Structure 1
Amino acid sequence: MAELPGLGKHCNFEQCKQLDFLPFACDGCGNTFCSDHRTKDAHSCSQHLLSSSGCEYTGARGYTCSLSDCGNRELTEIICEKCQLSFCLSHRHAQDHSCSKLMEETANTVSKTAEHVHQIIASKPAVVKKSRMSAKSSKTAAKVALMKMKLHAKGDTGCPETERVYLRIYPPCQCKKDPQPMFFSKTWSVGRAVDSVAGRLGIQNNNNVQSAKKLRLFSSEDGTILRTDCAIETLVKEELIFSGSSVILEYVENNSEKLDDISVYKIS
């Protein structure tokens, strides 16, 4: 076949050099290339590499969730409208990151209700025994306390967040220890929770000694016992306790069913 001079151009890529009748001109280095090497990456365009190496990205590389134990990042900043901090998608709602502003608002609302209740109680004759609050009132109080507990509660870190039940534990009077917020798996029995609390507080647990006094958990509202063989999940379903409730840990005789005087624990 006869040569057709002047038609097409040879590819400027060193390892190619093939004649191409429809060459492509690079707008970076100005050379011509075949269809296989027309892109800047394909022919290692000198101007493209020069401009890329001299331009280092210095912008934001994502927004880290403000929740201390999270660490997730989002490309877009998600600001909580209450506390004005940035969070990931999982913790963007105020209740998901235990928002301090939400806690204050809820506490203020509850405190006004509590103040009104105290005024009503003060106007009535004092009663010796503390009666159980309504389930609705107990649940509301527990919800407020729960947000505070989540910030400091201790427990088995292997327990999934969805299974956790938070309780404020009032230790036995003789221990002289402050109340401690803790969390437990809802699948645990009360007996297992008692053993866990005793271990974390470093207090003596003789529940396996027949002649010794036993460690038991009691309701902080009326002093009734929370039976050791009962699952925590069952107590929550029956509204005997809620996640955020306070309970009392005390040494009692094996046949004890109720604490006679819960005022000595100064439940707040």
Structure 2
Amino acid sequence: MAGGGTEAFPDLGKHCQFSGCHQLDFLPFKCQACLKVFCLEHKSCKSHDCPKPEHNNRKLIICEICSTSVEITGKEDQEKIILEKHDKSGDCDPRKKKKPTCPVRRCKEILTFSNRTVCKTCRLEVCLKHRFPADHACKQASSSAPEATSGGWNKKFFAAFSSRNAKDCGKSGWPSSTTTPSLKAY
């Protein structure tokens, strides 16, 4: 058998062209740089010591003027040329550089249309991680804190809870009592 495969299927698969491997692979990979055939283990340029590893090498660089990503294929000495071409193309706009970020201290999350929310209490626009009033030091939440500690909403809750009768709970296993139990909030 010269090319690969089995006796039943002689055209199926290829032998790896990496020296010392020659494994028969039924799903071989063809390197786009050196055009040789390799097995799964030697398919990357690095693993088979490809003589032209930068053939299809892609790299993204960020324009310092407008923060736009620019794709570079090939050699690294082209970076300056491509950045100059990007600058002269008209796509480079310095107004694009400043993107809104979350105003919470030490948060650098860029606010996009899908990860921003407005606090209903203080109307501050924050990222989703800081959407709750306690997470972004909400000004209204701190002013209503004394009411919460004094038991404003707790009193209402426990009054409603204590006024309920055991029959209202919907559980038949509970003994019913004629007196309403009183609960004390601490």
TM-score normalised by structure 2 residue count: 0.34
Structure that is richer in helix per residue:
1
